[in-house]
């Protein structure tokens, strides 16, 4: 069911990764994602895999959760794998049949791309597993605050994002509730063609819209009652502070980047 979506879910813990400053985690995650694309051969990619495994180990997120985060992209993985195997040509031909041929380069590219995607997903889900959505948007707000110079309402955007994230589970619950109520009235939500199915969703989405607007209105009212007036002059309960742990992480990441560039330089490139 809809509840099984894990991508972007917090996994409580008290590891060093959990305790890191969310801003640093955000920047480093972004940086490491760039690093994945800097890798040019299996040696540098291997270093990246090593780094990712180490990060997962330090975060103490169970392997099961990590695998769960890869599941949603499995289709994309297989798809890119197949495309690369058959459409990238070069090097020795290993297998050939009718118009289809598999070459050395094709296999290498396919494997390389797939590892890349897996590492990418693991690194980004590591961020969301170890950081609460609130911390994440807080960090984003702080990181984007220089944009205030251009009169961009960073705080408002961050608040909207926090609220949107906060209401995802509520909405999922609401959808399930309404779906059950309409099914009890004999609504058939599971069969028929595309148009029939889309039509069948009207009894679900109309009440959902109505309740969402009501909820939004009530929330705005509650926030106003607690004197919320936007970002100006607002202080924080949890102050973000960079610590030793954050600088160690930064150093490690820089070292990995340096390693990747070196390995790229000394070994022939695959991609």
Partner 1 sequence: MTDPIKLINVSHYYSQGLPVQVAAVKNINLTIKAGEAVGIIGHTGSGKSTLISHFNGLLKPSEGTVLVDGEDIHKDKETLRRSRFKIGLCFQYPESQLFEETVAKDIAFGPGNMGLSDSEIALRVERAAEFVGLKRELLSKSPFDLSGGEKRRAAIAGVMAMEPEVLVLDEPAAGLDPRGKNEILRMIMNYREQTGSTIVFVSHSMEDIAATAERIIVMNHGEIALEGTVDEVFSHGESLRTMGLNVPEITRIFMMLRQRGIDVPSNIYSVEEGARILRGLAEGRRG
DSSP 233: T
- Cβ closer to partner 1: 99 or 185? 185
Segment lying near partner 1 (by CB under 8 A), choices 53-61, 65-73, 84-92, 201-209 = 201-209
- Cβ closer to partner 1: 71 or 245? 71
| Cβ neighbours of residue 15 closer than 8 Å, sequence gap 6 or more | 58, 59, 60, 130
Measured between alpha carbons, how far is 174 from 170 in angstroms, rounded to an integer?
6
Q: Does residue 2 belong to the site contacting partner 1 (CB under 8 A)?
A: no
Segment lying near partner 1 (by CB under 8 A), choices 30-38, 51-59, 203-211, 249-257 = 203-211
| Cβ neighbours of residue 78 closer than 8 Å, sequence gap 6 or more | none
Of the candidate residues 31, 72, 133, 207, the single one contacting partner 1 (CB under 8 A): 207
Q: Does residue 183 belong to the site contacting partner 1 (CB under 8 A)?
A: yes
CB of 36 to partner 1, least distance (A): 32
Q: Does residue 180 belong to the site contacting partner 1 (CB under 8 A)?
A: yes
Percent of the chain as helix, strand, coil, to the nearest 5: 75, 5, 25
Q: Does residue 58 belong to the site contacting partner 1 (CB under 8 A)?
A: no
Segment lying near partner 1 (by CB under 8 A), choices 141-149, 172-180, 227-235, 262-270 = 172-180
- Cβ closer to partner 1: 214 or 265? 214
CB of 246 to partner 1, least distance (A): 33
Segment lying near partner 1 (by CB under 8 A), choices 84-92, 147-155, 170-178, 241-249 = 170-178
Q: Does residue 170 belong to the site contacting partner 1 (CB under 8 A)?
A: no
DSSP 1: -
Cβ count within 10 A of residue 139? 21
CB of 254 to partner 1, least distance (A): 39
Size of the site for partner 1 (CB under 8 A): 18
Q: Does residue 133 belong to the site contacting partner 1 (CB under 8 A)?
A: no
- Cβ closer to partner 1: 209 or 242? 209
β-sheet bridge partners, residue 93: 103
User: Is 107 in contact with 85 (CB distance < 8 Å)?
Assistant: yes
Interface with partner 1 by CB under 8 A: which residues? 174, 177-178, 180-188, 202-203, 206-207, 210-211
């Amino acid at each position: 069911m809809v509840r099984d979506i894990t991508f972007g879910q917090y996994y409580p813990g008290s590891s060093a990764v959990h305790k890191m400053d969310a801003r640093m985690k955000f920047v480093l995650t972004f940086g490491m994602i760039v690093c994945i694309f800097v890798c040019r051969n299996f040696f540098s990619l291997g270093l990246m895999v090593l780094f990712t495994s180490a990060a997962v180990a330090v975060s103490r997120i169970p392997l099961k959760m990590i695998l769960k985060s890869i599941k949603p992209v499995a289709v994309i993985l297989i798809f890119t794998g197949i495309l690369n195997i058959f459409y990238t040509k070069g090097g020795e031909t290993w297998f050939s049949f009718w118009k289809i041929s598999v070459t050395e380069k094709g296999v290498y590219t396919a494997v390389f791309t797939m590892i890349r995607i897996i590492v990418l997903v693991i690194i980004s889900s590591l961020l969301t597993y170890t950081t609460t959505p609130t911390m994440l948007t807080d960090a984003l707000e702080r990181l984007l605050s220089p944009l205030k110079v251009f009169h961009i309402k960073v705080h408002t955007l961050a608040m909207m994002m926090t609220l949107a994230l906060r209401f995802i589970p509520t909405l999922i619950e609401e959808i399930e509730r309404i779906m059950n109520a309409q099914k009890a009235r004999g609504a058939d939500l599971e069969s028929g063609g595309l148009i029939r199915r889309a039509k069948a969703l009207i009894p679900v989405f109309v009440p959902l819209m109505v309740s969402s607007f009501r909820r939004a209105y009530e929330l705005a009212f509650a926030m106003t009652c607690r004197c919320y007036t936007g970002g100006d002059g607002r202080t924080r309960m949890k102050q973000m502070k960079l610590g030793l742990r954050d600088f160690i992480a930064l150093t490690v990441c820089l070292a990995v980047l340096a390693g990747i560039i070196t390995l790229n330089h000394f070994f022939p490139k695959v991609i």
